[in-house]
Amino acid sequence: MFIEKPVPEAMVSPGVPKLLQEGYYVKFTNAWPAEFSSISGKLFQIAETNVVPHDIHHIIPTNDFRDVDLSNSAGGENLYPENVNTLNEVVLGFKPGNYLAQVYIPAGEALSRLEQASMFPDVTNVVTRYLGQRTPTDSPYDDKRIFMYFVRNLEPIIFRMFVDTGIDFEKVVIGAMVNKCRLSLITQPTPDQERLAKIIRYYSELRW
Amino acid sequence: MPSLTQTMVAVGLVTQFAAEKPNAKIIPSLIMVNNVLGAQDAVITVQDVFTPAASNGTPAPVLTTQSRLNINVSMAACVSIRDELKDIEILGLLQLLIGVADANCIVTVAWNFE
C-alpha cells in the first residue's frame, strides 16, 4: 500500500497512465486482516475514478517536526475513504525545501528500517535522521512518485515532516492527488484478470 | 508576475506588499527604491511575517517576523535590485519596513510564487 516509484529508465510509446484508470483491476493480498474481510484476497475492477488534487502546507521551525496524519482521525488530513467500495490511490510529492519526511504506519512504526536493532529513523538523532528519509528530490511536486492505497478504516499513515538544520523556518508543501476509485467486485476472476491486476499489499508486508 | 508600487508612509513604518499564499513561497524578483526626492537616506528591511504551524517543539506558535534583506538607499538615488533577490524566499506575508517614513520614497516590488 506504499510504493515509491523510481525514475523511469526508458520511455514507452504510447504512454502508460500513471494513475489507476476505469477498467483496471486491483487485487488485495491475503495478508489484509479479518477486519478487511470484504477486500482481503479479492479482485476488483475499477468502475469509476475521480482525481481530486489537494495541498497540505505547514511552516515549521528548524530542527523541529510535525506529524501529518493522512487518515480521517481527529486532526488528520482526511484523505481516507469512508465507503467500503472506495479505494483512494493517493500520490504525494513535495515542493522544494530543506526538509524530509519519515513515514510511519501505524503511528510509531517506521516504514523504513534496517535489520540492526538501532537502525530505525529518529529525527532527533543526527545519525539516523536521514535513515529512510523521503525528500522533495525523491518525489517532486510536479512529478509525484510516492503512491499509497487507502481503504476505509486503514490504520493511520503518518508523515513526520522534519525541517533540517541550517535554516530558520521552512514551508513544507505536500501536494496530494487523490484518485478516488469505485471498486466493483469480480466474484470469479479469470487467470487473465488475475495476471493484469495491480497487487495491493497490506503494510505489514512492506516491512520484512 | 504581480508587482506593486507604494510610498513608504505607512503608520508603524511597515508597508505590506504581498499576502501569504498558503501553499507557496513568495520569491521577490525585483525591488526598486526611488529615493530621488527622499528627505533622507532610506533604510529598508524586507520582512517575512507568518505564524508557524504547531510543531513538536512549539505546540503553541505565535506570529513571527523574520528580516530577509536590508537595503540602504542614499538620498537622491534610485536603486534597482534583481539578481541579488534570487535566493530570497518569503514564507508568509511580504512587507517592507523603513527606518523613517517618507512620502517621497517610492518602492516597487515584484514577485513570483514557488
pLDDT in tens, B88-107: 999 999 999 999 999 999 99
* Cross-chain Cβ contact B57/A170 below 8 Å: no
DSSP B23: T
Residue B104: per-residue pLDDT: 95
Q: How far is B59 from chain A (nearest CA, A)?
A: 10
Whether the predicted pLDDT of B11 surpasses 70: no
Q: Read off the pTM.
A: 0.92
In this structure, the strands spanning A198-200 and B93-98 are unpaired
Whether the predicted pLDDT of A13 surpasses 80: no
Q: Cα–Cα distance between A198 and A59 in angstroms, integer?
A: 36
Specify if B40 maps to a domain: yes
How many domains is chain B partitioned into structurally? 1
pLDDT range class, residue A3, cuts 50, 70, 90: confident
Residue A12: per-residue pLDDT: 73
A58 touches B at CB < 8 Å: yes
Tell me the three cell numbers of residue A112.
Answer: 523504513
A75 touches B at CB < 8 Å: no
Residue B13: per-residue pLDDT: 82
For chain A, give the percent of residues with pLDDT over 70.
Answer: 99
Specify if B15 maps to a domain: yes
Question: Which residue ranges make up each domain of chain A?
Answer: 22-205
Q: What is the CATH number of the domain that holds B83?
A: 2.60.120
Residue A94: per-residue pLDDT: 97
B25 touches A at CB < 8 Å: yes
**ipTM (interface pTM):** 0.93
pLDDT tens string B24-80: 999 999 999 999 999 999 999 999 999 999 999 999 999 999 999 999 999 999 999
Q: How far is A59 from chain B (nearest CA, A)?
A: 5
For chain A, give the percent of residues with pLDDT over 90.
Answer: 89
The boundaries of the domain holding residue B94 are 3-51+64-113
Q: Give the containing element (helix H, strand E) for A196.
A: helix A191-196
**Closest by CA position to B77, among listed B105, B52, B49:** B105
A96 touches B at CB < 8 Å: yes
Residue A207: per-residue pLDDT: 84
Q: Cα–Cα distance between A29 and A42 in angstroms, integer?
A: 7
Q: Cα–Cα distance between A160 and A64 in angstroms, integer?
A: 10
Question: Peptide bond before A106: cis, by omega within 30 degrees of 0?
Answer: yes
Whether the predicted pLDDT of A178 surpasses 80: yes
**Closest by CA position to A59, among listed B27, B18, B97, B24:** B24
Tell me the three cell numbers of residue A136.
Answer: 522533495
Whether the predicted pLDDT of A75 surpasses 80: yes
- Residues in B closer than 8 angstroms to A99, CB to CB, are none
Mean pLDDT of the residues in chain A: 94
Q: Pick A82 or A12 by higher pLDDT.
A: A82
* Cross-chain Cβ contact B58/A171 below 8 Å: no
Specify if B35 maps to a domain: yes
* Cross-chain Cβ contact A59/B58 below 8 Å: no
Q: Cα–Cα distance between B69 and A101 in angstroms, integer?
A: 30
Specify if B57 maps to a domain: no
A155 touches B at CB < 8 Å: no
- Residues in A closer than 8 angstroms to B24, CB to CB, are 95, 173
Q: Cα–Cα distance between A46 and A180 in angstroms, integer?
A: 10
Whether the predicted pLDDT of A4 surpasses 90: no
Q: Cα–Cα distance between A26 and A40 in angstroms, integer?
A: 11
pLDDT range class, residue B15, cuts 50, 70, 90: very high
Chain A residue with Cα closest to B67: A168
Give the residue carrying C-alpha cell 499513515. A157
